[in-house]
Chains A and B, each alone.
Chain A
Amino acid sequence: MDFAKKSGWNWKVILSVLLILGVAFGYYGWYKFFREEPQEAWITATPDMRFRYGSIGGERDAGVPYWIFYVLPRIFPEKLPGPGGYASLGVSWEQGKELPIGFTKKTIGFPRVGNNCAACHTTNYRAAANQNPVFLNAGPGHTLNLEAFFRFLVDCAKDPRFNADTLMREINLVTDLPFDDALAYRFLIIPMTKKRLIEREKQFEWIYRKDFPDWGRGRDDSMNLTKYFMLQLPMDNSFGPGDIPSIWNLKKYDVAGTTMNWSGDSHDAYSVIIDSALGVLGAPPKSNDEFLAQIKWLQEYLSNTPAPKYPFAVDAARADAGKVVFDQHCATCHASEKTGRRMPLAGVDTDRGRMDTWNKDNAVAANKVVAEMGITRKGLVEASLDGYNPPFLDGIWVRAPYLHHGAVPTLRDLLEPPANRPALFWRGYDLYDQKNVGFVTQGAEAERVGTRFDTRQLANGNGGHLFGTTLPAPDKESLLEYLKTL
């Protein structure tokens, strides 16, 4: 009896010790893998920095562990478009910053790198070849090679050298991880990252298709991204990369009847921001309240961020003359009730690729997915799409190349009939071209930095939008001058 009694007491001790150990271990695990720490204070200190570097929650599921992100370009430089690490992808990168704009660092258990809106929606331009770039928040990321970035991550993960030995050797050259973190990286974080990146491969199948041209810098096949990632639909044959748009001054859409996106496929700014942000998150938000608070902040910020003024000299008299031409030939669509509302393709006749990547069923399905997350929004337009929205032209000077898919390099080219528009040019060089209003798209440096855009390839047609192409030359000059002022 004594023995039994004593053994009972023993079990209590043992159980208590085990319980304490379990709790301690649980806390340790939570701390090392799940605890969330706020970002560095300077990031959230100003709205502009928050837009550039602030987390919107993208690190949790779509993020890449910081040190893996850090060493991948060093281990797999051959999988990038050129020398320069991530810079070769055309990211907007401020000097002295640890990460490019749009890349967010946040500790969720361990430091991770995610993305935010600014990755695609920051414009960089240079006034001259011997000047450093200027960055414009909420502008089109015309230099970003998003497709190459997607491919890079998947290609790295598929490479047999993406293993703990190789990665840890490189990581140990650049930092001194504590013992337990090194173990976590070796046995959990690296294998899990590899697995998760490879899981994306199936959904990314279409970006590897040989019969599709590369998106090139500054474009993304956004509706196909939605179909294959959010809706998990099987791959179809549609292909329609659009230009990454500017997202400043969103309050212009606060007018009943306007729709958003190139094809007028979404009802309002709130819905577009939600849907785009969900793409960045790569998963339903952990907390809808937290997520929607971010969305509201973004909407507020983007509604009140004006388009940047043209930073070079403008001939005021000529611009005034140009306004007359504009009012006569352009305003009907671009500064009227028609602006921001879908217009049938017939008569405009621009490339239909983008339009055909999406349909009513897709919209219904996507709205259902978002509703099931418990998020209420007006959402995508549940209708078949015919044509594109004539866009508002605020900040049009820096939204080159032009048309929804960026098939025409400069505004001057756009005022030429399609036969006279460049059939071949290079996108993504950031040197500004004041004469033609757009970016420099020809020449050795444009070819080195940029991606080749061939208007004869699928969904790249530069036809249509003949408006203004028959104007007399002086009128075109005046019009160009006026467009700089928008």
Chain B
Amino acid sequence: MNEPFYESRKDGWLTRMYRHRWVRVVMLVLAMPTAIAVVLAIVLWQRFGSDRAVEYAAIEEHFKYGSTGGERESGFPYWIFKAMPQVCAQHLHGGYASLGFIFEDGRDLPIGMSMRNYQGVDRTFLNCAVCHVSTVRDAPESKPRIVLGMPANLFNLFGFQKFVFECGRDPKFSSEHIVAEIDRLMQMKGEKLGLLDRYLVYPVAIALMRERLSMLHGRLGPLLQDTDWGPGRTDTFNPNKVLFNFPLNAIPERERNAAVDFPSIWLQQPRQGMQLHWDGNNVMSEERNKNAAFGTGTTPPTIDLAAIGRLEQWLLTAEPPKYPYAIDAALSARGRSLYGEYCAGCHGADGRTFSAPAGTQARECVNPIGAEEALYGPQVGKVTPIEQIGTDPRRLDSFSYELAVQLGTVYAGYPHRYCHYRKTYGYANMPLDGIWLRAPYLHNGSVPTLRALLEPASKRPQIFYRGNDVYDRNNVGFVFDAPEQAGRRFSTYDTTKPGNANVGHEGKRYGTELSAGDKDALVEFMKTF
């Protein structure tokens, strides 16, 4: 009687159960689905668990093609993006290049688009460079030179949005048409669309993308009724309202039509402590940059702060290129003294030695409200009240107090929650580094050249053309009077349309009453910036 009892003590209940053949069979049968599930999970994870951006060691390449993290939440599947111009050809004549995207040789994505394999799909989206890189030509037939950090004068963001939304709504935005086009494009590259991609990944991606575009169109749609921004411009803060889902069709009329020129982004170091953005609504470049990064598709959880940090570091000291053409030294010297008299007060001593006004650049969220008056002043980086500067008020009005306070909630829960946005009532006095490349002028790009800016509004061009990259050395700016050149058509800028007014920054103090010779001298001097 003791023997079996002893044995059972030794072997334990599990061992005893396994002595039965049927138990072993049942266990095996039960184990199989588990094993299959584990294997499947590993396979799926390998296939769909990816999150790898294409990275670049050189900072210039990183700027042009590196990721800000935006593809995770907002990326277009690469192959869908490639297929769209063909599938939706009726909405886009001339491919992405016609929207002012700049393609470098040997690159199949334009400058300003990055790549990331996320959840098993190559995705692409805009990065900072799309709005802050452009080209310059000496003459219509010359080869364009790419300039990093200058305003993207050629890039038509309005047209790009319009195309994407129109394509997304087109019946052709379907698996049938897009997968066929992807197939064709891949074959041209000698690649082949896998079965899983063909029958599962892309059909799902197309459906999801169409749903997302329809949602975004619902929110951003009202903006597309506004005055066409044309190339080189964007509406900054109305899309920001979309982030909070403020119904755009209910905002006051005066906040609409608020397009502004893309800015240059060089030399951020000497800008620290200045009121940044056209209306000087933020003193912290980090907050401005993170907010701009929403335009590259990022969200607080998905932004790549390290990647953006690299750019921020680089931009502290990145220099604008020098004016490459001849400068009349004598004329420029005459201009220098005029500049000192008329311009230096608000715009800094010259193109390099603008120094930040005494202001805090430390993060101050506990007592965020300083004296209102501290925002304003006749110095570089301070705000000039709208009553004085007299330029188009739309952009100013688009940044409403309601939006300013709402921005205090952005990045909540992170150590870098915004706390420096301020509603101002004027436009900021900008430093003029590389001003020769920052045409057209004024915040809304309503004056094509520096020379025209020195004329009173009544004598500034009422209608001109934007998007030409041929340089105009006489007037300092880009050629603006040709609607068409060498087969390229430019965008008409009508200063009578809402948000496009070319008024303001005029009168005796602004140099518009100087003699023609003095104006020429002033312009000559500003070439040196």
Of all chain B residues, the one with the shortest Cβ separation from A97 is B408
**Which residues on A sit within 8 Å (CB–CB) of B422?**
95-96, 132
- Pick from B155-163, B195-203, B333-341, B412-420 the stretch touching chain A: B412-420
Of all chain A residues, the one with the shortest Cβ separation from B396 is A130
Q: Is B247 an interface residue (CB 8 A)?
A: yes
**Which residues on A sit within 8 Å (CB–CB) of B299?**
173-174
A130 CB contact (under 8 Å) in B301, B421, B425: B425
**Which residues on B sit within 8 Å (CB–CB) of A172?**
301
Contact A93 B245 (CB under 8 A): no
Contact A83 B402 (CB under 8 A): yes
**Which residues on B sit within 8 Å (CB–CB) of A73?**
244-245
A96 CB contact (under 8 Å) in B241, B365, B385: B365
Q: Is B400 an interface residue (CB 8 A)?
A: yes
A175 CB contact (under 8 Å) in B244, B366, B367, B412: B412
CA distance A1 to B59 in the complex (A): 78
Interface string of A201-241 (1 = CB under 8 A from B): 00000000000000000000000000000000000000000
**Which residues on B sit within 8 Å (CB–CB) of A258?**
none
**Which residues on A sit within 8 Å (CB–CB) of B404?**
95
Contact A448 B245 (CB under 8 A): no
CA distance A131 to B383 in the complex (A): 13
Q: Is B193 an interface residue (CB 8 A)?
A: no
CA distance A19 to B107 in the complex (A): 64
Q: Is B372 an interface residue (CB 8 A)?
A: yes
Contact B250 A82 (CB under 8 A): yes
**Which residues on A sit within 8 Å (CB–CB) of B244?**
73-74, 85
CA distance A172 to B73 in the complex (A): 10
**Which residues on A sit within 8 Å (CB–CB) of B401?**
87, 95, 132-133
How many A residues touch the partner, as a band?
Answer: 20 to 34
Q: Is B479 an interface residue (CB 8 A)?
A: no
Interface string of A107-136 (1 = CB under 8 A from B): 000000000000000000000001111000
**Which residues on B sit within 8 Å (CB–CB) of A83?**
241, 246-248, 250-251, 402
**Which residues on B sit within 8 Å (CB–CB) of A42?**
366-367
Q: Is B252 an interface residue (CB 8 A)?
A: yes
Measured CB to CB, the closest approach of chain A to B132, in angstroms, equals 25
Contact B423 A95 (CB under 8 A): yes
Interface string of A85-104 (1 = CB under 8 A from B): 10110000111111110000
Q: Is A289 an interface residue (CB 8 A)?
A: no
Q: Is A392 an interface residue (CB 8 A)?
A: no
| A residues 131-157 in Cβ contact with B at 8 Å | 131-133
CA distance A87 to B241 in the complex (A): 13
CA distance A83 to B73 in the complex (A): 25
**Which residues on A sit within 8 Å (CB–CB) of B386?**
130
A-B contact count (CB 8 A): 100
Chain B binding surface SS class? loop
Interface string of B211-251 (1 = CB under 8 A from A): 00000000000000000000000000000010011111011
Contact A131 B405 (CB under 8 A): no
Residue among A70, A94, A97 with the highest chain B CB neighbour number at 10 A: A97
A131 CB contact (under 8 Å) in B9, B400, B417, B425: B425
Interface string of A163-189 (1 = CB under 8 A from B): 000000000111110000000000000
Given known contacts A74-B245, A88-B402, A173 and B73 CB-to-CB distance under 8 angstroms:
yes
**Which residues on A sit within 8 Å (CB–CB) of B301?**
172-176
CA distance A277 to B405 in the complex (A): 27
CA distance A367 to B314 in the complex (A): 68
Q: Is A84 an interface residue (CB 8 A)?
A: yes
Measured CB to CB, the closest approach of chain B to A418, in angstroms, equals 34
Of all chain B residues, the one with the shortest Cβ separation from A3 is B9
Interface string of A47-72 (1 = CB under 8 A from B): 00000000000000000000000100
Interface string of B362-387 (1 = CB under 8 A from A): 00011111001000000000000111
Binding site for A on B (CB under 8 A): 5, 9, 73, 241, 244-248, 250-252, 299-301, 365-369, 372, 385-387, 400-406, 408-409, 412-414, 417-423, 425
Instruction: Known pairs A83-B248, A95-B401, A174-B300; list 5 more (Cβ under 8 Å).
Output: A83-B251, A84-B402, A95-B368, A96-B408, A97-B408
Query: 19 A-B contacts, Cβ less than 8 Å apart?
Result: A2-B9, A77-B246, A83-B250, A84-B403, A84-B406, A85-B246, A93-B405, A95-B408, A96-B419, A97-B368, A97-B408, A98-B409, A98-B417, A99-B409, A130-B425, A132-B423, A175-B300, A175-B301, A448-B252
Binding site for B on A (CB under 8 A): 2-3, 42, 70, 73-75, 77-78, 82-85, 87-88, 93-100, 130-133, 172-176, 448
**8 A-B pairs with the lowest CB-CB distances in the bound complex, closest first:** A96-B368, A84-B402, A83-B246, A176-B301, A96-B419, A87-B402, A93-B405, A130-B425
